[in-house]
Structure 1
Amino acid sequence: MDVIKSKIKSALNYIITFFRWVALAGITGCVGGFIGAVFHKSVEFATEIRALDDFMIFLLPLGGLFIAMLYKRYNMSENTGTNHIIDSMRTEDKVPAVIAPLIFVSTVITHLFGGSAGREGAALQLGGGIGSQIGRIFHLDDKDTNVIVMCGMSGVFSALFGTPLTATMFAMGVISIGITYYSTFVPCLVSSIAAYVISLHFGIKPFRYVLSSVPELSLNSIFYTVLLSALCALLSIVFCVTMRRTEALYEKIKNQYVRILTGGIIVVVLTLIVGTRDYNGIGMDVIEKAMNGDTKPAAFLLKIIFTALTIGAGYKGGEIVPTFFIGSTFGCLFGAAVGINPGFCAAIGLVSLFCGVVNAPIAAIILSIEVFGSDGLLLFAIASSVSYMLSGYYGLYRSQKIVYSKLKTEFININAK
């Protein structure tokens, strides 16, 4: 009798926990989806305004001063960002409530005046802030708060990119490399799906591309996929190191107002020198051209420089969409050089560079399916695995823990370089 009671109690515990997390994650996803949709529309509107008047780029330094003033006003370090969200998962530090509105406003300002940045950094910080606030409202303990923060991250990421499965696996695996928090699978998936549905309701188009041609699996296609993904792994290291070194150079300017003003002026001057606005803002149009086999030889290198100069100075946004830009343009260039379909190589470059900078191979493989479809899945899997292994212990997020070695089953527990 006692054994039966114990089993019933255990079954009830699973059922109650399941519905509890479905409810909490559903709420988080709905809130994240709504805020993510508003944020997406705001960035889109800011980009459209900038495109109407080339003079907007000259206001970038003033926009930077306003961002610095906002962070100073609310006693937030200009370095507070995605790393702070990741750190909060391992410590007792709470995500400040003000981080969500700050990153929302400052990212829109960055895009309005032509800073080179993405939006996923804002997505992770918005989501983390939303999740943390919901945790406070429902009086969750520290471990459950960590889960709800991950739900917030996956929800807003899903809303912005329209990739719910990628968002789920990204949130589960990006914090500690070598460990996937499967206990968060149901909550993160529910949050991602809820946010995705909300974003569709608001007319947010998912991040999708139809490839004109996908090569058959052969020794030739495998060889070129391995070669391209190996080069992208090297490029991911270059990108991460450039971001770190540029930030370190900026930090020699102690006054944050002078620092961000200087960065804004440099980006403006560089924009005038290159004579195009391709490297300001997100650059989705350039990514789309690369998918169609059209790119400029120096596009990937210039995007690295523009992004490092923008983010390093203190402007807000993210590095994932710039990674898509860099990977797709480099892949397109590679394809044209070796005689393989440039559009497909652009897709391989996008996925493998994403994998290299975030150290999330499963999320990268799922990204390839959600964005490009299942054709060529094995080639995308090969690209992700090669890039993951050869990119070493570098990453965009310095708070990311590399828990297990990429070379053997060995516990190393180091921070990403």
Structure 2
Amino acid sequence: MLARLRLLLFAAIGGALTGAISFSFLKGLDWATRTRVAHAWLLWLLPLVGLAVGAVYHYWGGHAKGGTPYVIEQGHIFTHGVPSRMAPMIWGGSVLGHLAGASVGREGAALQMAGSATDTAARLGRLSNVDRRTLVIASLAGGWGGVFAVPFTGVAFALQMTRKHRWRALLPSIVSAFTAKWAVDALGYSMSARPHLPALSLSWSLPFKLLLAGAAFGLLARVFVWALHLVKRRMGHWVKWPPARPIIGAAATIGLAALVGRGYLGLSTPLLNQAFAGLHVHWYEPLLKLVFTLIALGTGFVGGEVLPLFVMGGTLGGAIAPGLSVSGPLLATTGSVAAFSSAAGVVLTGLVLSVEQFGWNALLPAVIVGVGAHLAAGKPGLYVTHH
């Protein structure tokens, strides 16, 4: 009993640390985005930022180079634990990348910071490897609760990604997720509002249209995962010195931005908000966001894949909605989640996320779209681990 209470205490400590780091991270990203938009010349610093990030990870990264898949792996089979350096490295690398315009996300960074902070506390507390493994699983829930304010989604994600030990980690995951969210709320950060879908007006053709849209989101996710691994492999083969790879990605990003504009840099949340609002979305917007993100993540910039996938799926939903004669906000909201959940193979997490973000009216369309996306995406590979 005392051992169980101790585990929950460290889950709460890890959640509080995750919430504090998430608050500073969200504030840092907001500052970086405002500053980049106000000072367009910062884009020209992207090669220098890429070199700095690439060099730090190459020479001092250690296991931190494994990123989110390494954190998940430690929840499966605990070996070395999550290094303390991972949190400051991903914090600094992500904020600097956003400041200069790299198209990366934030949720992957949150999972790494949560795992690093939680496992560091557990190591200092001299917990056993079994308990540390459980807390690493719980930290995945804390990352979602802290940076995205969706604790139920965090719990579902943690249990889906680490199935072998999930029931032992259930209660610690709940504690970590809600503690992280409460910490961010207590520190005064306000998350951007998400639209709540109205009650669905069913017709005989709507389920088929939603399935078709889901297949489109799944194919998008499949192409993204395949292309991301391909770019990483090719860059590793062609460019032997890792710090040089982000320089190449930065040059490509600058050139592409000069051709098509700067709306695809950073988080690109205005594109997603326009799709959620039902405004017109061009067919090429999800494709361009995909290309910008492949360039950034494939060449060595750090951050996350989740929010870029949200933007890709949301804008694709907005683009195909008129052709399917379906509500734009309906396909944008369900598509944003389906693109991520099908890429990661976490359909249940996607359903929980849909309800937590967009209300209970999103559940039925999310189920239909999610099934279509999952079937089209095939075997997921977003978070590839050795185990």
TM-score (norm 1): 0.88
Counterpart selection for 1:88 from 58, 61, 74: 74
State how far apart, in whole Å, the 1-side matches of 2:207 and 2:299 are. Answer: 40
Equivalent pair of 1:130/1:149 in contact (CA under 8 Å): no
| Aligned residue-pair number | 384
State how far apart, in whole Å, the 1-side matches of 2:63 and 2:142 are. Answer: 25
The corresponding residue for 1:411 is none
**Counterpart secondary structure, 1:231:** helix
Alignment of 1:105 onto 2:96? no
Counterpart selection for 2:229 from 244, 250, 257: 244
Counterpart selection for 2:252 from 251, 266, 280: 266
The corresponding residue for 2:344 is 358
The corresponding residue for 1:116 is 103
**Counterpart secondary structure, 1:81:** helix
The corresponding residue for 2:276 is 291
The corresponding residue for 2:215 is 230
State how far apart, in whole Å, the 2-side matches of 1:131 and 1:77 are. Answer: 16
Q: Which moves more between the two structures, 391-400 or 308-317?
A: 391-400
Counterpart selection for 1:278 from 228, 252, 263: 263
Deviations 1:154-194 (A, max 9, x none): 21221111101001111121245xx6712211111111111
Equivalent pair of 1:159/1:196 in contact (CA under 8 Å): yes
Equivalent pair of 1:34/1:199 in contact (CA under 8 Å): yes
The corresponding residue for 2:47 is 61
Equivalent pair of 1:213/1:344 in contact (CA under 8 Å): no
Equivalent pair of 1:162/1:207 in contact (CA under 8 Å): no
- Counterpart amino acid of 1:191? S
**Counterpart secondary structure, 2:382:** coil
Q: Per residue, is there more helix in 1 or in 2?
A: 2
RMSD of aligned Cα (Å): 1.8
| Structure 1 spans left out of the alignment, 5+ residues | 1-12, 402-417
Alignment of 1:315 onto 2:301? yes
State how far apart, in whole Å, the 2-side matches of 1:213 and 1:332 are. Answer: 17
Deviations 1:77-113 (A, max 9, x none): 7842112212223141222221111111101111000
Alignment of 1:123-272 (within 5 A): 123-176=110-163, 181-206=166-191, 208-211=193-196, 213-251=198-236, 252-272=238-258
Alignment of 1:26-65 (within 5 A): 26-65=12-51
**Counterpart secondary structure, 1:116:** coil
Structure 1 residues 399 and 183 mapped into 2: Cα distance closer, same or farther (>3 Å)? Answer: same
Identity of aligned residues (%): 27
Structure 1 residues 240 and 172 mapped into 2: Cα distance closer, same or farther (>3 Å)? Answer: same
**Counterpart secondary structure, 1:80:** helix
- Counterpart amino acid of 2:223? V
Equivalent pair of 2:74/2:136 in contact (CA under 8 Å): no
Structure 1 residues 272 and 78 mapped into 2: Cα distance closer, same or farther (>3 Å)? Answer: farther
Alignment of 1:392 onto 2:378? yes
**Counterpart secondary structure, 2:188:** coil
Alignment of 1:375-386 (within 5 A): 375-386=361-372
Which structure's CA Rg is the greater one?
1
Structure 1 residues 271 and 70 mapped into 2: Cα distance closer, same or farther (>3 Å)? Answer: same
State how far apart, in whole Å, the 2-side matches of 1:180 and 1:346 are. Answer: 34
- Counterpart amino acid of 2:258? L
| Structure 2 spans left out of the alignment, 5+ residues | none
Structure 1 residues 235 and 125 mapped into 2: Cα distance closer, same or farther (>3 Å)? Answer: same
- Counterpart amino acid of 1:26? A
Equivalent pair of 1:217/1:376 in contact (CA under 8 Å): no
Q: Which moves more between the two structures, 81-90 or 383-392?
A: 383-392
Alignment of 1:334-349 (within 5 A): 334-349=320-335
State how far apart, in whole Å, the 2-side matches of 1:339 and 1:213 are. Answer: 17
Equivalent pair of 2:64/2:85 in contact (CA under 8 Å): no
Structure 1 residues 18 and 94 mapped into 2: Cα distance closer, same or farther (>3 Å)? Answer: closer
How far off is 1:75 after superposition? Answer: 4.7
How far off is 1:387 after superposition? Answer: 2.1
State how far apart, in whole Å, the 2-side matches of 1:386 and 1:172 are. Answer: 23
Alignment of 1:19 onto 2:5? yes
